[in-house]
Chain A
């Protein structure tokens, strides 16, 4: 009995801190419609800034409270800076570009934190009052936990009062429903957006500071927290505060008890919950279907086959790539192999995201399934490399087919989050099924066939397969199927009226993208000689997203350009500086501000300048 109580209270305490982050995220999304990936970074800044402030203050509860509030204000100010210098300039840009910009901020903040606070985890010495216990039903419950538990509902109450009882809150709610209308009524949107972003950032900052006594400030917390916060926001329903609160409670309690009842699946429990909720309620627990923001930023651009000059450029690059082994060293060759694979991986995500209109936050799932599929084929079934390279895409495609039925019913961020959930479930299987997958140690010794052991031969093979794969995807996207897919994305109403079945088309696109990504994964397994759970990590999915977004989704040359630039930039940066995240993040932000249509999109537009699209 007492044990259940303790788990229950622990769950409530973590629900509170989850809610603080998720509340900010959901409010920001509701009003600005920006999917703020940097929200976890604001939380991390809250933890570090809080550490600095609280370490300098006396250890009394009152000073602690003041320190937390100061931290919140500090992070709110940082949020305000991010909003006014970056986001404000791109509210009219396509949604995906805003997502890319916030990724840039994540990278920048990671290096800034590393530079300012160093690589070590920072913990706060706990003064006596913080270590105090009260005894409830014979169990010692930390006072600090009780405090945290109280903060969640209090914050919900405070926000509820703010949003329902003040003029400002009414405006925010109005903007959540229809921001153009609010602007038309003479409300300064810019100030409203900045204020909302600052509020959300402040909440994240407070959350970060409050988490210090029970944990530490560390460099990994941003991605962990953003994933949890996204899950909460999506489960609760985008833009819904009570939904976020309900979801925080559900998820934190499930985690608290799940860790005891099913220790094996704790890593994925939240994602399983999210997947179930999204399958049953496609708009989250308390969410309503979102009214699409008006404006023509998201009007898809005309897709045309590449102009001859671009084709010649592509052919020249391909020729150069084919000749590269004659003069490239072993390191350059391995980078080139990676680039060729990245190209196919990015093109596969593009097929899904661009013409398919399905943004995926978990594209690494197919990549990882392909890699593990190839590894099982050679290590477990003792098959040859060519057979493994057939099993890799086939296995990924089969998984995509099974999973796709759930995905194609959703749209937008909900769809993206369900793909993330699936990727995390795959990751957890690879990580925890140690007897089959080797767990964290992965599967080693996945070497190419004897005839392909020479890195040059393997590179040529990879280049040939990946180029063929990309060209095949391109061919399909320009064929009637690709047009029908794009038609269903452009106008679902019209597509249905001419007899197109959007769900089947999307499912086919997902299977196709899964197969291509699986092939990329299989090729990677042999290139590296091993497979690890890292192949299915969020980081890998983010890589693919960055490549596609950098290149631009509108154009089919985009993902290829994005993959080459991203992989190249990444490897060069890694060699010349240890601040590669900062440089990469700043480059991304700069690219977003300079090329709001992605690299390929912008080149295309410059090409068309003076002519009509």
Chain B
């Protein structure tokens, strides 16, 4: 079942074609990796899906509904979770409270002025924390967590609105190699168990080839290859971009 279908996405900044006619789709339970050298258009693509940038043209269909041009706020409400390259959590709250706030926002309970926030949705918050393996740290301050744990907390927050699609921007940036694989394996098991569609950008090729169901390669705003790990590895254009055959420039080794 297709959760996200992107068709003919175009965005230019001034004279630069950042994204030029990109189309791909992500199905439920699938992990799609979006890769490409720096400046390939990954982040622009990502930010359009999330609503931070309006596309010039093209269609972004979430469960068949066009969400191109909606605000991040609206996109979130339609069931899209997101994690950031630099983990964004609430430092003045405990791990559990972080998830509770996300749950309160999701259930539209923010404008309540009486019953303490700590009393709301405790079982739901703990269930989410259990999923990411953070249940035993629920009482700790988010500000003292190790970076890997912070990323897992962020994942729990992103899952609080029971998303159909999860967008992860450089999910393993800044993490130790062992933690990287663990986080992505966790995401993968969540995806397949809950039928969640996951789209992520990533620079670490071990992570990409280790967990992605399918891979989409962008270069200079255009989609140059799509397929599973072995297909992508064997693709001459991808090799040219990443290894720098001399025909293409601007690529870098990972």
Residues of A whose CB lies within 8 Å of any CB of B are 296, 299-303, 475-476, 478-484, 486-487, 489-491, 493-494, 496-501, 505, 554, 612-613
Contacts and interface: CB of A to CB of B under 8 A. Distances in A.
B116 interface: yes
B112 A480 contact: yes
Contact of A483 (B91, B104, B154): B104
B231 to A, nearest CB: 33
Max chain B Cβ within 10 angstroms of own Cβ: one of A480, A496, A500: A480
A500 B110 contact: yes
Given A481-B110, A481-B112, A484-B104, A490 B82 contact: no
A45 B143 CA distance: 43
Given A484-B105, A493-B88, A479 B73 contact: no
Contacts of A613: 141, 143-144
B143 A612 contact: no
B92 A479 contact: no
Contacts of A494: 84, 88-90, 154, 157
A493 B92 contact: no
B143 A299 contact: yes
A479 B77 contact: no
Contact of A491 (B88, B97, B114, B158): B88
B109 A612 contact: no
Given A498-B101, A500-B105, A475 B90 contact: no
14 contacts: A299-B143, A301-B92, A301-B141, A475-B114, A478-B116, A478-B118, A480-B112, A481-B110, A486-B92, A487-B93, A489-B92, A497-B84, A499-B77, A612-B144
Nearest to A354: B92
A496 to B, nearest CB: 6
Interface in B64-106: 72-73, 76-77, 82, 84, 88-94, 97, 100-102, 104-106
Nearest to B81: A497
A299 B89 CA distance: 12
Q: Classify chain B: how many residues form its interface, as a range.
A: 35 or more
A480 B117 contact: yes
A308 to B, nearest CB: 16
Contact of B113 (A299, A475, A496): A475
B32 interface: no
Contacts of A483: 93, 97, 100-101, 104, 117
Q: Which 6 A-B pairs have the closest CB atoms?
A: A494-B88, A300-B92, A302-B141, A490-B90, A483-B117, A484-B110
B157 A498 contact: yes
A481 B112 CA distance: 6
B163 to A, nearest CB: 11
Given A484-B105, A491-B90, A499-B76, 19 more contacts: A300-B91, A479-B112, A479-B116, A479-B117, A480-B110, A481-B113, A482-B117, A483-B93, A486-B92, A487-B90, A487-B101, A490-B93, A493-B88, A494-B157, A496-B73, A498-B76, A498-B101, A613-B141, A613-B144
B73 A499 contact: yes
Max chain A Cβ within 10 angstroms of own Cβ: one of B90, B92, B97, B141: B92
B161 A498 contact: yes
Given A475-B114, A481-B112, A482-B117, A497 B89 contact: no
Interface string B228-245: 000000000000000000
B10 interface: no
A478 B101 CA distance: 12
Contacts of A491: 88-91
Contacts of B105: 484, 498-500
Max chain B Cβ within 10 angstroms of own Cβ: one of A301, A479, A497: A497
A501 B110 CA distance: 10
B188 to A, nearest CB: 22
Contacts of A500: 105, 110
Contacts of A498: 76, 101-102, 105-106, 157, 160-161
A494 B157 CA distance: 9
Contacts of B76: 497-499
Interface of B: 72-73, 76-77, 82, 84, 88-94, 97, 100-102, 104-106, 109-118, 120, 140-141, 143-144, 154, 157-158, 160-161
B109 A480 contact: yes
Nearest to A478: B116
Contacts of A612: 140-141, 144
Nearest to B71: A496
A604 B102 CA distance: 27
B141 to A, nearest CB: 4
B185 to A, nearest CB: 24
Given A478-B116, A479-B113, A498-B160, A486 B84 contact: no
A302 B90 contact: no
Nearest to A481: B113
B166 to A, nearest CB: 12
A353 B157 CA distance: 26
A418 to B, nearest CB: 25
Contacts of B91: 299-300, 302, 490-491
Contacts of A554: 92
A315 B104 CA distance: 32
A209 B114 CA distance: 57
B141 A486 contact: no
Contact of A497 (B82, B92, B143): B82
Nearest to A493: B88
A224 B109 CA distance: 46
A301 B92 CA distance: 5
B114 A479 contact: yes
A301 B143 CA distance: 8
A497 B104 contact: no
A248 B101 CA distance: 46
Nearest to A472: B113
A257 B158 CA distance: 57
A182 B101 CA distance: 38
A493 B84 contact: yes
A479 B113 CA distance: 5
A445 B5 CA distance: 73
A490 B118 CA distance: 17
A299 to B, nearest CB: 5
A490 B91 CA distance: 6
Contacts of A479: 112-117
Contacts of B158: 497
Contacts of B93: 302-303, 483, 486-487, 490
A303 B97 CA distance: 11
B132 to A, nearest CB: 16
Nearest to B88: A494
Contacts of A301: 92, 141, 143
Contacts of A490: 89-93
Contacts of B113: 475-476, 479-481
Nearest to B90: A490
A511 to B, nearest CB: 12
Max chain B Cβ within 10 angstroms of own Cβ: one of A300, A476, A482, A487: A487
A479 B93 CA distance: 13
Contacts of A501: 73
B140 to A, nearest CB: 7
Contacts of B104: 480, 483-484
A303 B143 CA distance: 11
Contacts of B102: 498
Contacts of B114: 475-476, 479
Contact of B94 (A299, A302, A505): A302
Max chain A Cβ within 10 angstroms of own Cβ: one of B143, B158, B160: B143
Contact of B72 (A296, A302, A476, A497): A497
B141 A499 contact: no
Contacts of B143: 296, 299-302, 613
A555 to B, nearest CB: 11
A554 B88 CA distance: 20
